[in-house]
Amino acid sequence: MSLVSSFLGFRVFLCLCLLVWVTKGQNVNLFRQTEQLGRRKIFNVMAYGAVEGGITDNSQAFLKAWNDACKWTGRARVLVPRGIFKLFPVVFSGPCNGPIAFLIMGTLRASTDPSTFNSENWINFRYLEQLTVAGGGTLDGQGSFVWPLNNCNNRPCKTLPISLSFDFVTNASVAHLRSYNSKNAHIKVYGCNKMDFTKLRLSAPGDSPNTDGIKIGNSYRIRISRSVIGTGDDCIAILSGSKEIHISKIFCGPGHGISIGSLGGYDNEYDVEGVYVKDSGLKGTTNGLRIKTWAYSHPLKVSKIRYENIVMTDVTNPIIIDQNYCPSPPCNQQVTSNVQISDVTYNNIWGSSSSKEAVILKCSKTSPCKNMVMNNIKLSLNGPGGIASSSCENAIGVSYGTQNPPSCIKV
């Protein structure tokens, strides 16, 4: 019995030694991997042949720096230092091996030669997770040279590039950037999840065509805050498939306001749900808080929309729902929209309207707006014509508190 016990004890001892040896190796490897994941490395575009001055195209140098940074298993930083760097359309694609930041400290200047517009985007980030774009720098779209090419109403034409696009990006932050004179929209967000945009300044003249500030489509949990947006189109456009969009502390003007839509014009669109706009101001815009759907539209739902603590200054159409949207007549105004709008709240909206009808709720006859709530609306008419008025069609809901102009919602 003692011999057997000794043999069994030796086997247990041998197994424990082997376990310690294997675990020690695993711990060393795990430590090395963790150490490398925590290491930061800067990839300066100047080290890859970028030339400052705003004359030479730097797209290849930027791509080389990006590709090396994307392969790094730690925290990679692509650095664009101070200076002016000309950049043709470029795509920064993933997935990458770790968190990656693109730090713009200088100015990126777009080309004005239409022959170089080989994409609908100028600077495009796609298929990425844990991305940061920041640095305090500037995107100069040089749109004034090509805006006449942006009028496609009467003839076929090529879409001009959007300055900064994000496609299928998750867990990202975009902050401390300026974009001006974009050729098309300043920023586009498509198929993205959990992105934060803050401390941005987006600007273009009020008469510049299609220069939306931020366009969002088919995306979830996008937050925009503490930014100034003045453009020739929507300051923020919320399109098909957008859900949980949070907008706060935004100043909008000039521009077409903060818009949901247009919606229902295509058969492959998705519902819009959960849009929250609060603590913001609009000045001199052609619309304020707008929801627009095509008169002839495919079935769709827009729900859980809340506007709160918004101040208007000389805004045309401060509050407007237009379910007969028709930007390019002729349109058949006899048909009614199939987009169902419901659960929309306007709370503490005040200021001045430059149009007599400060509140317009033009809802669908076949799909009336439901569960509308108007609470403390104080909009005065700035200009001749007496006092501000409201106009409602097929809008069902309730009104509370001060109602100036008088509410026209049906209970």
Per residue in 256-301, pLDDT tens? 999 999 999 888 999 999 999 999 999 999 999 999 999 888 899 9
**Domain annotation covers residue 363:** yes
> In the structure, what pLDDT confidence band is assigned to residue 156 with cuts at 50, 70 and 90?
low
Q: Tell me: the pLDDT tens digits for 102-135?
A: 999 999 999 999 999 989 999 999 999 999 999 9
What b/e readout covers 312-335, taking b as 16+ CB neighbours within 10 angstroms?
Answer: bbbbbbbbbbbbbbeeeeeeeeee
Instruction: Classify residue 266: in a domain, yes or no.
Output: yes
Give the pLDDT score at 38. Answer: 63
Residue-level pLDDT at 151: 67
Q: Among the options 176, 186, 246, 256, which is catalytic?
A: 256
Per-residue confidence (pLDDT) for residue 158, from 0 to 100? 75
Residue 87 pLDDT exceeds 50: yes
Using the predicted structure, report yes or no on whether residue 381 has a pLDDT greater than 80: yes
- Which residue, among 255, 263, 177, 176, has the nearest Cα to 216 in the 3D structure? 263
Task: Answer yes or no: is pLDDT of 26 > 90.
Answer: no
Residue 389 has pLDDT above 80, yes or no: yes
pLDDT of residue 302: 98
Task: Report if residue 9 sits inside a domain.
Answer: no
Quickly state the pLDDT bin for 181 (edges 50, 70, 90).
Answer: very high
Contact residues for 271 (Cβ-Cβ < 8 A; gap 6+): 241, 243, 300, 301, 302, 303
User: What's the CA gap between 355 and 378, in Å, rounded?
Assistant: 14
* Residue 198 domain boundaries: 51-147+158-327+340-404
Decide if 37 is inside a domain: no
Tell me which of 310 and 118 has the higher pLDDT: 310
**pLDDT score recorded for residue 4:** 39
Q: What is the pTM of this model?
A: 0.89
Here the tokens at position 362 are 């033009």
Could you give the CA distance from residue 396 to residue 318 in angstroms, rounded to a whole number? 19
Degrees, nearest 5: CA angle 161-162-165: 125
pLDDT of residue 154: 54
- Write down the pLDDT at residue 326: 80
Question: Would you call 148 exposed, middle or buried from its count of C-beta atoms within 10 A (0-12, 13-18, 19+)?
Answer: exposed
The CATH number of residue 266's host domain is 2.160.20.10
- The 3-state secondary structure of the chain, one letter per residue: CHHHHHHHHHHHHHHHHHHHHHHHHHHHHHHHHHHHHHCEEEEEHHHHCCCCCCCCECHHHHHHHHHHHHHCCCEEEEEECCCEEEECCEEEECCCCCCEEEEECCEEEECCCHHHCCCCEEEEEEEEEEEEEECCCEEECCHHHCHHHHCCCCCCCCCCCEEEEEEEEEEEEEEEEEEECCCCCCEEEECCEEEEEEEEEEECCCCCCCCCCEEEECCEEEEEEEEEEECCCCCEEECCCCEEEEEEEEEECCCCCEEEEEECCCCCCCCEEEEEEEEEEEECCCCCEEEEEECCCCCEEEEEEEEEEEEEEEECCCEEEEEEECCCCCCCCCCCCCEEEEEEEEEEEEEEECCCEEEEEECCCCCCEEEEEEEEEEEEECCCCCCCEEEEECEEEEEEEEEECCCCCEC
Compute the average pLDDT of residues 13-38: 40
Give pLDDT, residue 333. Answer: 67
Model pLDDT, residue 137: 98
In a domain, 29, yes or no: no
Domain count for the chain, please give it: 1
Encoded tokens for 296: 């002839």
Tell whether 346 is covered by a domain.
yes
Q: Check if 256 is active-site.
A: yes
Q: Average model confidence (pLDDT) for the chain?
A: 90
What is the mean predicted confidence (pLDDT) over 76-88? 98
Could you tell me if residue 59 is inside a domain? yes
- Rounded average pLDDT over 195-206: 98
d(CA 195, CA 42) in angstroms, rounded, equals 23
Q: Write the pLDDT tens digit of every residue in 29-44.
A: 433 443 445 689 999 9
| Residue position matching structure tokens 């791509």 | 63
pLDDT band at 310 (very low <50, low <70, confident <90, very high): very high
Calculate what percentage of the chain has a pLDDT beyond 70.
88
pLDDT at 13 (0 to 100): 39
Instruction: Provide the token pair at 171.
Output: 């867990």
Higher pLDDT residue, 383 or 36?
A: 383
**pLDDT grade, residue 98 (50/70/90)?**
very high
Q: What is the pLDDT of residues 160-173, one digit of tens each?
A: 999 999 999 999 99
Query: Is the model's pLDDT at 56 over the cut of 60?
Result: yes
- Give domain status of residue 42, yes or no: no
